[in-house]
Structure 1
Amino acid sequence: MEGLFTIESLFTLFMLILLQVVLGFDNLLYISLESKKAPEDKQSYVRKLGVGLAIVLRIVLLFALMSLIQYFQDPFASLHDNSVIEFSFNIHSVIVLGGGVFIIYTAIKEIWHMMLMKEHAEIEPSKASIGKIITWIVIMNLVFSFDSILSAMALTSHMEFTGQIILMSIAIIAGGVMMIVLADKVANFLKKNKMYEVLGLFILLIVGIMLLSEGGHLAHLTLFGNPVTPMSKTTFYFVIIVLVLIDIVQGRYQKNLLKQKAVADKIVEKVKE
C-alpha cells in the first residue's frame, strides 16, 4: 500500500484518469445520442444510471481481464492458407468487431431518419423501453472499456497485482464520474445545436469503422492477401478535426449565403416599390 503514494504511482494514476477521459469521448457521444430514444424527462436519469452501472461492470471486467487475459487472447476459430480470407478470431476481437458493427448500424439508422426529416422523439420512445436503452448503454460502455483497460494494464505493468487493481479502479471510478457530469452537458449541447447532431453521427460512424479495423487486426484478418490494419488514434482525431472544421466552414458559408439572399431580396422589393 505504501507504494501507492509515491510520485511515480500518483503520476501513473493521473495518466490512467487522462486515458479514461480521452478514450471515453466516443463513448460519451454514443450515450448522448442513445439516451435521446427515452422520453425527455427520463433522459438524464437514463444517462446517469447507464454510466453508473457501467462503472461497476467495468471494475468487474477489470478483475476478469486481469485474471483471464490469456483466454480473451487465445484464438478459438482460425482459417489459414486461403487466398480470399484468413483469420484467427479470439473473444477480444469478436467483442470489438460486434461493437463496431452495432455502432455503424446505429449511426446509419439515425442518419437515415434525419434524411427522412423525422424527429427521433416521434419514432423512438414508443419502441425503445428505458431498460433496453440502459442495457445498450452499459453493453457499449463495456465494449469501449476493453481498449482503455488493456492500455491501463500496460501502464501499470511494473506494479504489483494489488496496486494495479487499486489504481485502475480509482481511474475507472473517476472517469465514470466525469462521464456522468459531462453526459448531460453534451446531450444538452446537441439538443440546443441540432446542426451538430449530424456531425456527431458521422463521428460515431467513424468510431464504428475504427472498431472494425481494430477488431480485424486483433483477429489477424486478411482479405485477398491484404491484412486489416487498425486505424491509429492519431488518424482518428485528425479525421475528427477535419470534420469539425468542415462543419464550421459549411455553417458560416451557409449563413453568408442567407445574408446575401436577404440583401438581394430587399433590393428587389425596393425596385418593385
Structure 2
Amino acid sequence: MADSLGILLLLIGLELVLGVDNVLVLAIMVERLDPALRRKARIIGLGLALIARLGLLLLVLALTSLTAPVFMQFSVRDLILLAGGLFLLWKAVREIHHTVELKEEQDEAAGIKKKSSFRTAILQIVLLDIVFSIDSVITAVGLTHVVWVIITAVVISFAAVLAYAGPVGEFIIKHPTLKILALSFLITIGVTIFMEGMHQEVPKAYIYLPMGFALVVEMLQMRYEHNRKKMRS
C-alpha cells in the first residue's frame, strides 16, 4: 500500500508537469471562441480528453503493440507523435502570424467577424491531449500496473488543469506578448514531440528551464511597464 501511494504521488507530479502543455493548448484553442463559450469549451474539451486518456490507458494495458513497429521502424506511438508534432507546429506558427500581423484587428476594422467553431476547438483539444498523453501513459504503465493508482493520478491532474486553465488562459489572451511567448513554447513542444517520434529523445529540462526563464523575464518586463505607467499617472 505504501508503494502504491508513493507511485501515486510520483504520477500526480508527472501529470501536473505535463499539464503545463495542456494549459497552453487550452488557452490558444479557445482564444477565438466567444468569451461566453470559452469556459464551456474548456470543461467539455477536458472532459472528453479525460475519457480519451483513460481509454488510451486501458488500450496500453491490454496491448503491447503500441510501441512495436508497424510502418518501417515507426510504431503507432511514433506515428501519433509525428502527426501531433507537425500539427502543433502548424497551429502555433499560424497563430503567431495571425497575432503579429494583427489579422483580428484588421478583420474587426473591415467589419468581418471570424470566430472558431466550437466543435473544432473541442476536437483539437481532445486530439492534442491524446498526443501529450502518449508518453505519460506509457510511463505510468511502466511504473505500475495498479489501475486505480494511474486513474487517480490522471483524474487529480485533470482537475488541477481545469482549475487553473481558465484564469491562466484569460490572462494570456489579455496580454499579446505572453500569448506570443506561449505560442513560441508550443513550437518548442511541437518540435520535441516530432523528434521523439523520430526516436530522438530530448531531455525535458532543456525545454522547461528555458520556458520558465523566459516567462520570468516577461513577467518582470510586465511589472516594469505597470510601475512605469503607475508613476506617470
User: What TM-score, normalized by structure 2, do the two folds share?
Assistant: 0.88
Partner of 2:67: 73
Quick one: distance in 1 between partners of 2:223 and 2:113?
Answer: 34
Quick one: distance in 1 between partners of 2:77 and 2:161?
Answer: 24
Quick one: distance in 1 between partners of 2:52 and 2:105?
Answer: 29
Conserved? CA contact 1:37–1:133, under 8 Å = no
Deviations along 1:146-197, one digit per CA (max 9) or x if unpaired, are 11111111221xxxx4xx2111111111111111111101112213333211
Where structure 1 has 5 or more consecutive residues not aligned to the other structure, the ranges are 1-5, 79-87, 218-228, 263-273
Among 99, 107, 113, the residue aligned to 2:98: 113
What's the CA shift for 1:118?
2.4
Deviations along 1:77-111, one digit per CA (max 9) or x if unpaired, are 22xxxxxxxxx111100001111101111110011
Write out the 4+ residue segments of structure 1 that deviate beyond 4 Å after TM superposition: 120-125, 248-253
Partner of 2:21: 26
What's the CA shift for 1:126?
3.7
CA RMSD, Structure 1 to Structure 2 (Å)? 2.4
1:199 partner letter? L
3-state secondary structure, aligned to 1:76: strand
Among 173, 177, 199, the residue aligned to 1:195: 177
Conserved? CA contact 1:101–1:212, under 8 Å = yes
Quick one: distance in 2 between partners of 1:125 and 1:74?
Answer: 47
Identical pairs, percent: 29
Where structure 2 has 5 or more consecutive residues not aligned to the other structure, the ranges are none
Quick one: distance in 1 between partners of 2:31 and 2:106?
Answer: 7
Q: 1:48 to 1:212 in 2, by over 3 A?
A: same
Among 49, 55, 63, the residue aligned to 2:44: 49
Conserved? CA contact 2:66–2:75, under 8 Å = yes
Matched, 1:9 2:4: yes
Quick one: distance in 2 between partners of 1:204 and 1:188?
Answer: 17
Aligned residues: 226
1:230 partner letter? E
